[in-house]
Amino acid sequence: MSEVLARWNQLPALEAAQEILPCCGSVAWARAMSARRPILDEATLLAGSDEIWNHLQTQDWMEAFSKHPRIGERKAPQAASPLSASWSTQEQKDVAAANADVLSTLAKANSEYEQKFNRVFIVCATGKSSSEMLDTLYHRLQNDDATELQAAAEEQRKITNIRLQKWLSA
CATH of the domain at 43: 1.10.3330.10
Q: What is the DSSP letter of 69?
A: P
What is the distance in angstroms between the CA of the first residue and the CA of the last residue of the chain? 14
Mean pLDDT of the chain: 90
CB atoms closer than 10 angstroms to residue 156: 23
Q: Which of 7-11, 19-23, 35-39, 96-100 is predicted least confidently?
A: 96-100
Q: How many folded domains does the chain comprise? A: 1
Cα torsion 14, 6, 164, 79: sign: positive
Question: What is this structure's pTM?
Answer: 0.89
Q: What is the pLDDT of residue 156?
A: 97
Mean pLDDT of 144-159: 98
What domain range includes position 92? 3-169
Instruction: Tell me which residues are annotated as active site.
Output: 68
Single-letter residue type at 155: E
How many angstroms separate the CA atoms of 169 and 151, rounded?
28
Q: What is the pLDDT of residue 115?
A: 97
Per residue in 74-109, pLDDT (tens digit) is: 666 566 667 766 666 666 666 666 788 888 898 899
